[in-house]
Amino acid sequence: MSIDSEKDLIGLLRIGKVVGMTLKKMSEAVRPGMTTGELDAIGAELLKKEGAHSAPIVTYKFPGYTCISINDEAAHGIPGSRVIQVGDLVNIDVSAELDGYFADTGATIPMLPVEPLKQKLADCTRAALDKGLAAAKAGNRVYDIGRAMENEVRRCGFRIIRDLPGHGVGRKLHEPPSVPGFFNKRANAVLTEGLVITIEPFVSTKANHIVTAADGWTLKTPDGSPAAQYEHTVVITKDRPILVTAV
């Protein structure tokens, strides 16, 4: 969507704050020994308290309120009985709807101590998000975001997962345009003021694509290599974008 009125911006910022705070509190609560289902229940309660509705459930009938993905699971991990372990990379992805507006955010939390390669992966992915945000300004093209993120990931010696892009968001969970995490010359749409998108690098130590697990939802690296993701919903401006999901 594009911001057409003050009402749009207020509504988007409101749901952005809800999902951002939900992610923050889930990130603070996650610990080795708890199950992914227990972590998801925390997110479910926080969203319910704010009157928000889980976007994966509303949109896709996903079997969880949030997506929780561990290690080689890049995205859409189903919360359940899996016990979180020391050394895991735990990705929490929170998206929700409130009063007709959607926002989407995510982060990867290392369960310390983790092996140095996993920590480097998480740090690099966060740095790639920052590079992408810096390139997200009116007048640039969508591919400028991907180029900035891919350059950072290559500098780290890692690989962008190419089939998991960012996307438009706002009226729905997923809208045009697609926002690739790498330089794709076909993603040449001009970024305009008020455009609402997610910026979310998915990065792996070795893999550049994913496969779908037997559960039909979880997206994993085919070689078992660990993956990480960080994400913000943003509004494009002439300068640095508005971070809708920042708290």
What is the model's pLDDT at position 105? 98
pLDDT tens readout for residues 231-244: 999 999 999 999 99
User: 6-243 is classed in which CATH architecture?
Assistant: Alpha-Beta Complex (3.90)
What is the model's pLDDT at position 139? 98
Confirm whether pTM is higher than 0.75: yes
* Residue-wise burial string across 16-36, b where 16 or more C-beta atoms lie within 10 A, e elsewhere: bbbbbbbbbbbeeebeeebeb
What is the model's pLDDT at position 27? 98
Quick one: which of 49, 42, 40, 64 has its CA closest to 17?
49
Neighbouring residues of 45: CB distance < 8 A, sequence distance ≥ 6? none
What is the model's pLDDT at position 74? 98
What is the model's pLDDT at position 62? 98
pLDDT tens sequence for the chain (247 residues):
999 999 999 999 999 999 999 999 999 999 999 999 999 999 999 999 999 999 999 999 999 999 999 999 999 999 999 999 999 999 999 999 999 999 999 999 999 999 999 999 999 999 999 999 999 999 999 999 999 999 999 999 999 999 999 999 999 999 999 999 999 999 999 999 999 999 999 999 999 999 999 999 999 999 999 999 999 999 999 999 999 999 9
